[in-house]
Each structure stands twice: as C-alpha cells, then as structure tokens.
Amino acid sequence: MAMKIRLARGGSKKRPFYRVVAADTRMPRDGRYVEKLGTYNPLLAKDDENRVELNVERVQYWLGEGAQPTDRVSRFLEAAGIIAKKERANMKKAEPGKKAVARAEEKASKAAAAAEAAAAPAEEAAAE
C-alpha cells in the first residue's frame, strides 16, 4: 500500500482548514485516511505558532514506513526540521515575459536620458 502524508481539506466555503494526514494514495483528497498527524490553518498569520501543528513522532514513524510527503507538507516538515531542505527549481515562473523586459529596458533608458538632460544645464551653469 503506497502511503502519502498530505493535506485533507475541511472548513466551510472560503474558510479553509486542513488536516495533515497519512493516507493511501488511492483514496480521495478529503476521503478516508489512516491517521491524522496534525493541522494547518492558512487563515492564521504566518508567524503564528498555531498555523501548523504536527505530531512529530508519528510523522517520523510514517516517513520511516516509506510514506512520501506532498510538496506542501514537505515544506512544513522542512520548517519543523524533520527532513532536510530540498533544492527546488522554480523554472521560469518568476521571470518576466519578453514584453515586460522590453518595457522595463525602455523605461530605464528614458529615465537615464531624462537624468542626463537635467544634469547637462547644471554642468553648464557650474562651468560659467
């Protein structure tokens, strides 16, 4: 049986609340799970200690049994110091597109030209 440590969504509409669970990969996201390992409340502030609560002993047990954490859960486990931090490739999602780069270069060249034009009369006045 392939196991995953993943999030199961609860809460009402637009008020999400998640349980961190160990579940069989064949079960639906919010369906049957083997064991509840903690909670995640995304509505709390990022520095709030109750935002992510984990039962560390049970998480380590399931990792030892071969359960694979999902990406989001692995980030929680990395923050808690349970697993080593992984290198993630963000590919090119954060890079601006071609048109945005062209606009930024054009704006920078205009700003440089304006600064140069404003500096020229000041230099002439200083030279006299």
Look at residues 46, 54, 61, 48 and name the one whose alpha carbon lies nearest to residue 20: 54
Condensed to tens digits (0 to 9), the pLDDT of residues 31-65 reads 899 999 999 999 999 899 999 999 999 999 999 99
> Per-residue DSSP letters for 39-101?
EE-TTS-TT-TTSEEE-HHHHHHHHHTTPEEPHHHHHHHHHHTSSPPPP---TTTTS--HHHH
Dihedrals φ, ψ of 122, to 5°?
-70, -35
- With a threshold of 0.75, does the pTM exceed it? no
Q: Is the pLDDT of residue 88 over 80?
A: no
pLDDT of residue 78: 92
Task: Report pLDDT for 128.
Answer: 59
Query: Measuring CA to CA, how many Å separate 43 from each of 18, 57, 58?
Result: 11, 26, 25
Confidence (pLDDT) at 36: 95
CA distance 66 to 2: 8
User: pLDDT grade, residue 115 (50/70/90)?
Assistant: confident
